[in-house]
Chains A and B, each alone.
Chain A
Amino acid sequence: MNGKPKIGVYVCHCGTNIAGTVNVEEVVQFAQTLPDVVVARNYSYMCSDPGQALITDDIANMGLNRVVVASCSPRMHEPTFRKTLLSGGLNPYFLEMANIREQCSWVHDDPIAATEKAKRVVEAAVVKARRLEALDVKEVEVEPSCLIIGAGIAGIQAALDIADAGFKVYLVEKSPTVGGHMAQLDKTFPTLDCSACILTPKMVDVANHPNIELMTYSQVEEIGGYIGNFDIKVRKKSRFVDMDKCTGCGACAEECRMAGRIPNEFDEGIGMRGAIYLPFPQAVPAKYTIDKENCLFLSKGKCGESPKCKEACQAGAINFDLQDEVVEFKVGTIIVATGFDIFDARLKPEYGYGVYDNVLTALEFERMVNASGPTGGKVVMLERGKKKKKKEGEEAEAPRMPRSVTFIQCVGSRDKSVGNEYCSRVCCMYTAKLAHLVKDKVGHDCEVTIFYMDVRAFGKGFEEFYDRVRREGVKYIRGNPSEIYKKGDKLIVRAEDTLTATPLEHETDMVVLSVGLCPRSDNREIIDLLKLSQSSDLFYLEAHPKLRPVDTASDGIYLAGVCQGPKDIPDAVAQAKGAASAAMIPMASGKVKVEAQTSVVNEDTCRGCGFCVELCPFSAIELVEINRMGWPVKVARVNEALCKGCGACAAACLSGSIQQRSFKDLQLMPQIKALGVK
C-alpha cells in the first residue's frame, strides 16, 4: 500500500477500566491533531463486534490505510485487531496498538497524569503507524506428530487423545515406567475409586497404541526448530536389559545380591528393591531395569563369581554392554506434562520428619495403604533406618498397627516461611480420603485427628465427602501445630485449637504430613530446552491465565497437568485433553503461519561484514555473493523460515542495512521522539 498514510485512531473505554481514569474524550481530541490522522473515535468496547465494525466501516468509507487502537495490551488483543484489519481488506500489519490499560489506567490513579501519559502513548503509536509496512504472512507445513514429555496421567491422556485422532505421538518418560504419581495412589477422592483400576488400562493403552511411540527411561536432550518443525533428540538410557527379550518374569530380581537393600523410589523408600527391578508389578512396560549406580557389577565391576541376574535370566535379556541410544525425530507440536515433586518435609524440621520413624509424608502413607504397596495395604508402625536391609522389617515381624493417626494439613503449602504461598488444592481432600482409609483398614476404633487451617472442599462431591468423613468420627482441629516431639513410644503434637483458643498437646502413634505439590526440582532442564517462563510460584507459566491456560508463550508448545500448577486428577485430565486439542489444531490444519516480523537486508548498502551472521542465535543469516554494478560483493541474506524476529542483528548492523520488519530504526525512532518530548 503506497501513498499518504490515512490513519484512524480508536480509543477504547473498556467499560470503566480505561475511561474510569483516562479522559477518553480528551485523548480522542488530541489524536485528531496528530499528523495523518483522518479520524479518531472512542467506543465502550473496541474488541466487541460493533467496536470492530467501526474500524471496518471507516476503512471502507474513509479509505483508511493505517489503524491505531488504544486499548489493552497488544499481548491481549493484537491478534483480534489484526483480524479486524484483514476482514476490512487491509494488511494486518498496518495495525499499531497503544497500551493504555495495563500500562496506564490500571497503574496510575491520578486522572490527569494518566490522561497525559495516554496521549503520549497514542502519539507514539500514531507516528509509528505512519511508517508501518505491509508484511506477507507466510505459512509452513506442520509435521503431523507430537512430542509429549512426561507420562503421568496428564501425558498419558494427552497421548491417547492425539493418537486416537490419528496423529503420531512420541511419549517420553524419564522413569522406567509410565503412570507417574497417580500410579502410587491407592484410592482417589472423593469417589474412592481405585487408582490402579482406572489408570492401568490407560498405561497399557499407551504402550500398545499403534500411533504412540513410547520411550521410557528416556530424556529429551535437545529441541530445536519451531512450531510445525521441531527437531527432537532423545536419549534412551540403557537399562542393560534387552527390551525385546525381557519377559518380565522377575527371576533376575529375586536373585540380585542387592535385592531388598535399595529404597524403592516408587514406594517412597518404604519398600525395598534390588539393583535390577520393576518399580511395581503393574509397571508399563513390564521390563526390568538395572540401576547402574547400585548394581555391583556395573558400579564395582564385580558381582560374586558372575552376576546372578544374568544366570537367572532364561531369556538371555541381560546385557551389560548395552549403551544409551540417541534417537532423533521431527514433531510439529510439543506438550509438556512433567508433573511435580512433593514438598520436602525436611524443610519443616519442627515436625521431625526424617527424625521420628512414624512421622510420614502422605505419599509414604499412601504407599502403605495401597494393597499392592510394600506392606500389602496394612497400616503398620514403621521402624526405619536400622538394619532392615535383608528383611522388609515391618512386614515380616508381627506388625503393630497404630491406635491413633494424626494428620497435619498444609505442610509446605500456604506457608511463606518455605516460600510456597499457594494452596496445593489436593491436600484437604486426600487427607480426608486417607483418614477414611485409616478407619476402613485399621478399624473404626483407631482415633483419627486432622489439624487444619481451613478445609477447602470446593470440587464436585468434595463437600459431601468431607461431611461423610466427619460422620465417620474423624476429628478435625483447627490449628497449625508448632512442634512434634517424642515421649516414650508416643508422638506429641503441640498445637493451639484456634477455635477455642486453647493450647493442647495431642498424643498419637503416627503423624502423617499432608505435604503440598511443588514444581519439580529438575524443571530447569525443560526450561532451558524450551525457554518456558515460570510464574512466581515457579510452576510453568501459561500464555494467559484465563483464556490460554494450556498454551505457552511459544507457539506449538502446550502445558498439561501439575507442571502448570497444582491440580487434582480430573483437572489434570481436563487440562491434558485441552492441551491435546490445542496441539491438534495446527496438526489438523496442516499449516501454520510463521513470524512475519523477520529481518530483511538492504543488499545495496550491506557491506558484507558478517557481524549479523555471527550474532544470529538461529543461524538464519548467511553471506551470499551478489553482483553489484558489475562487481562481485558479499552481502547478508536472511532465511525467513529460520528467522524468529528478535532483531539482535538489526541492533548490531554498522550500516543499518539489516532491519527487523515492524521494528525498523525508522519506525522506532519516531516513537522515541514522541515519547521523549516533554
Chain B
Amino acid sequence: MAENSDFEPNIVAFLCNWCSYAGADLAGTSRIQYPSNVRVIRVMCSGRVNPLFVMNALQEGADGVLISGCHPGDCHYMHGNYYARRRFNLMRNFLEYLGVEPQRVRMSWVSASEGAKWKEVIEEVVNGVKEVGPMDQFKRRQLNW
C-alpha cells in the first residue's frame, strides 16, 4: 500500500457515554490537544456496538475504527464492556482474515478521569492507521439512507 506522508486518516470512534465519552470531554475541559482525525459517535455502552457498524464504517470510507469503553469491572451496565471485548476479538480475527490490517480497528478502555489517556489512545490510533495508509479494500454500493 502506497504510503503518503500527507495522508490524514479518517477515523470513526464509538464511545460509551459514561466513561470514554466523559474522558474525551475531560480532555477538552483540560485543553489537551490531539489530532483532529477522530470523529466520535456516542453510544450509551460499548456493548451497543454491533460488529456490523465497524464493517460499515470501513466500507463507507473510514480508514480506521476505535471502540472505547469503561475499564473492565467499571461498566455502568455491569458487563457491556465485556460483550464489546468478546465481539471485538472475534471481529478482529475475521477482519484480519479478510486482509484488513489489525492497526485499523482498535479497542481501548478510557475512564471518565483519563483525559490524558484519551489523547494517547488517539495518537496511537492515528499513527497506527497512518502506517498502513488509506483503507481501500472495501467498497459499498450506494445506499440512500
Could you list which residues of chain A lie within 8 angstroms of chain B, going by C-beta atoms? 73-76, 99, 101-104, 106-110, 113-114, 116-117, 120-121, 124, 127, 527-528, 531, 533-536, 541, 553-554, 597, 615, 617-618, 644-648, 650-652, 660, 663, 665-666, 668-673, 675-678
Contact = CB atoms under 8 A, between A and B. Distances in A.
A533 B19 contact: yes
Contact of B39 (A120, A652, A668): A120
A675 to B, nearest CB: 4
Given A103-B24, A541-B113, A672 B53 contact: yes
Given A104-B36, A615-B83, A646-B44, 15 more contacts: A108-B36, A124-B39, A531-B76, A533-B18, A534-B113, A536-B114, A541-B113, A553-B22, A597-B44, A617-B79, A648-B77, A650-B50, A672-B41, A673-B60, A675-B39
B31 A617 contact: no
Contacts of A671: 41
Contact of B62 (A121, A534, A648, A675): A675
Contact of B53 (A102, A528, A668): A668
A622 B120 CA distance: 42
Given A99-B40, A124-B41, A669-B145, A533 B28 contact: no
A541 B25 CA distance: 14
Per CB-CB distance, the 7 closest pairs between chain A and chain B, nearest first, are A102-B28, A647-B48, A676-B60, A646-B77, A648-B47, A106-B28, A617-B78
Contacts of A652: 50, 83
Nearest to A553: B18
From A617, A618, A651, name the one whose CB has the most chain B CB atoms within 10 angstroms.
A651
Contact of B112 (A103, A541, A647, A648): A541
Contact of A646 (B21, B47, B50, B57): B47
A212 B125 CA distance: 53
B10 interface: yes
Interface in B40-90: 40-45, 47-53, 56-62, 73-80, 83, 87
B137 to A, nearest CB: 14
A676 B88 CA distance: 19
Interface of B: 10, 12, 17-19, 21-22, 24-29, 31-36, 39-45, 47-53, 56-62, 73-80, 83, 87, 111-114, 145
B28 A116 contact: no
Contacts of B28: 73, 101-104, 106-107
Nearest to A666: B145
24 contacts: A73-B21, A99-B40, A102-B26, A102-B27, A104-B36, A106-B28, A108-B34, A108-B35, A108-B36, A531-B74, A533-B19, A533-B22, A536-B113, A541-B112, A617-B77, A646-B45, A646-B76, A647-B80, A666-B145, A668-B41, A675-B62, A676-B59, A678-B10, A678-B61
B113 A75 contact: no
Given A533-B18, A533-B74, A672 B60 contact: yes
Contacts of A541: 112-113
Contacts of A615: 83
Contacts of A644: 77
Contacts of B29: 102, 106
Given A124-B41, A617-B79, A650-B48, A533 B112 contact: yes
B48 A127 contact: no
A645 B53 contact: no
Contact of B25 (A73, A117, A663): A73
B36 A648 contact: no
B47 A113 contact: no
Contacts of A553: 18, 22, 76, 112
Contacts of A618: 77-78
A75 B41 contact: no
A558 B60 CA distance: 43
Contacts of A663: 43-44, 48
Contacts of B77: 617-618, 644, 646, 648
Contacts of B26: 102
Contacts of B47: 646-648, 651
Given A663-B43, A673-B145, A75 B21 contact: yes
Contacts of B76: 531, 553-554, 646
A198 to B, nearest CB: 34
B73 A677 contact: no
From A110, A117, A665, A678, name the one whose CB has the most chain B CB atoms within 10 angstroms.
A678
A104 B40 CA distance: 10
B44 A677 contact: no
Contacts of A660: 44, 48
Given A107-B31, A533-B111, A553-B112, A114 B36 contact: yes
A158 to B, nearest CB: 24
Contacts of B111: 533-534
A114 B17 CA distance: 22
Given A647-B43, A647-B48, A676 B12 contact: yes
B113 A528 contact: no
A275 to B, nearest CB: 36
Contacts of A678: 10, 61
Contacts of A127: 145
A109 B13 CA distance: 20
From A106, A527, A534, name the one whose CB has the most chain B CB atoms within 10 angstroms.
A106
A535 B22 CA distance: 11
Contacts of B113: 533-536, 541
A660 to B, nearest CB: 6
Given A553-B18, A677-B61, A645 B44 contact: yes
B48 A528 contact: no
Contacts of B112: 533, 535, 541, 553
Contact of B36 (A74, A117, A646): A117
Contacts of B43: 647, 663, 668
